[in-house]
Structure 1
């Protein structure tokens, strides 16, 4: 198995956590996003979107998009820790939390968007960080806090075992803190984040612990 990875990519961070939780190993190939290696012909032949992560399984199966990769790993390695609960209601709740992060919060603040705000709209870096980034974190995390505090959480986002929801939550909080966002209004999310970071599977996946970290 091979994972195309970048240390600061939130989406790749998710897959590093997922692999660790499942006890699966993957050869790593690093794609430097700030040097725009994702736009090279060689990488576009691997992933036409020019994004990380990309997972190549041992039989040559290629999977892109972090959410799809996690479900693929669940289905192809059923004897490992399951990232989605067995019951329909549980799966629905975990998917909803995961998608609130991966589809609503994260895309507005990823590197491509922040770069475009500067290059095409002449928005200064301070305004991008203090205005745009923090606004969307506040909007998104406020709703997410309510979802997490609906009674379904245990030690983790859904019960007492890590799920896809936790795998999505930790990278999002990591980035919000990196940009200096005040997270004190989200006590449930922060409690769950702390519980996750007590686990080696999450800590070992942190950006600063990656071989390509700068």
Structure 2
């Protein structure tokens, strides 16, 4: 099985951001194939990309001839294929906790804030931008309240979400904090989340995955 990896990514996609972090934590070399989600109506809707992912969503990770889809499933694939620097703990109870934190982000917060949802609000219902932004903030805050409660004063919480090494949970949480800042969420209400994000971003693997460090990020 070839180890050539190509990540179809968009610099601001939080789902692609998760996978970039995971690849970096694994120490895996990969090529970025940018997919612009806004240009010409969104390159993800074109026939070429739809062949890679019928959903028309990033990320997609190409490993040899195989196309891997869905960010959390990709991260678990990385963990099973390259077990060094594990993203999931060895004990089942701890793995469940990591997955639960990750899924609050990936299943409960992110889908409600996804670009295609916001575009639908604009295109079909003509929801003004301020109301769309408030929708995003509302669901991030709802989710972060739960995550903060799951993390605060829990004996398994360490420097990171689970202990003192980053896991799948941190891969999902950090990009969502980026989105929270982007939409003006007050993070003072979530001190444990903010502390963990700061610890993560001190690591070069997280720092290199930041949206502003991606080759397709426009000049600021």
User: TM-score under structure 2 normalisation?
Assistant: 0.94
Which whole-Å CA distance do the structure 1 matches of 2:98 and 2:202 have between them?
21
Structure 2 counterpart SS, 1:162: coil
1:54 Cα deviation after fit: 0.5
Which whole-Å CA distance do the structure 1 matches of 2:155 and 2:126 have between them?
44
1:147 to 124, 146, 150: 150
Residue 195 in 1 paired to residue 213 in 2?
no
Structure 1 counterpart SS, 2:86: coil
Residue 38 in 1 paired to residue 44 in 2?
yes
Which whole-Å CA distance do the structure 2 matches of 1:55 and 1:210 have between them?
16
Residue 67 in 1 paired to residue 69 in 2?
no
* Number of corresponding residues: 211
Which whole-Å CA distance do the structure 2 matches of 1:61 and 1:69 have between them?
12
2:63 to 57, 60, 79: 57
1:151 Cα deviation after fit: 2.6
1:61 Cα deviation after fit: 2.2
Equivalent runs, 1:118-133 vs 2, <5 Å: 118-129=122-133, 131-133=134-136
Residue 213 in 1 paired to residue 194 in 2?
no
Equivalent runs, 1:106-185 vs 2, <5 Å: 106-129=110-133, 131-149=134-152, 150-185=154-189
Structure 1: segments with no counterpart, 5+ residues: none
1:207 Cα deviation after fit: 0.4
User: TM-score under structure 1 normalisation?
Assistant: 0.96
Structure 1 counterpart SS, 2:54: coil
1:196 Cα deviation after fit: 0.2
Which whole-Å CA distance do the structure 1 matches of 2:141 and 2:182 have between them?
15
1:136 Cα deviation after fit: 0.8
Residue 20 in 1 paired to residue 24 in 2?
yes
1:152 Cα deviation after fit: 1.6
Structure 2 counterpart SS, 1:204: helix
Structure 1 counterpart SS, 2:55: coil
Which whole-Å CA distance do the structure 2 matches of 1:113 and 1:198 have between them?
32
Which whole-Å CA distance do the structure 2 matches of 1:148 and 1:123 have between them?
35
1:2 to 3, 6, 14: 6
Residue 81 in 1 paired to residue 85 in 2?
yes
